[in-house]
Amino acid sequence: MNRNIRLIQWFFFTVVFGALPLLIRMLLYKSSTRLEGDYVLNLVDIVTFGLVLNVTNINELETRRLMPDGLKAAYKGYSIVAVVFLAAFLGIAYVADLDKSNVLGFSAHNMVNYALVLSVVSCILSFSVVWRT
């Protein structure tokens, strides 16, 4: 398949699909006058985006045979580690949502920043995987 077509498919079926919760949240924020600015960057939405990208990486690496085994193993390893961290962030987000008194002491702002960095790195890695396969 043509690389440009694959990149376009990756962008729409992976990036846009994974970012739908964020995009919908941004649309709701823009159309409402009652929502605060921190409504847009939601930890669960960012983690979902990163998880979609990394699971797609793993699937893409399993089905493509054109990449050297060492590079494929490195990409898979990063994606698996990222899935573990993102799943931990998701669990923390669920617990923090239940724990309104902040007994656990998690900083929501820091967690959003960590998940955002990990998701952006995952997006770059996902692009690299699609570009190389």
Q: pLDDT digits over 8-39, tens only?
A: 999 999 999 999 999 999 998 889 888 887 77
pLDDT in tens, 45-99: 999 999 999 999 999 888 877 788 899 999 999 999 999 999 998 888 887 767 6
The DSSP symbol for 31 reads H
- Cα distance between residue 110 and residue 97, in whole Å: 15
How would you write the chain as a 3-class SS string?
Answer: CCHHHHHHHHHHHHHHHHHHHHHHHHHHHHHCCCCCHHHCCCHHHHHHHHHHHHHHHHHHHHHCCCCCHHHHHHHHHHHHHHHHHHHHHHHHHHHHHHCCCCCCCCCHHHHHHHHHHHHHHHHHHHHHHHHHC
Alpha carbon dihedral 9, 11, 14, 18, in 10-degree steps, equals: -150
pLDDT at 104 over 80: no
Q: How far out from the chain centre does Cα 99 lie?
A: 24
Q: Tell me if 49 sits within 8 A of 63, measured CB to CB.
A: no
Note the Cα 8 to chain centre separation in Å: 18
For residues 32 and 8, what is the distance between their CA atoms, to the nearest angstrom? 32
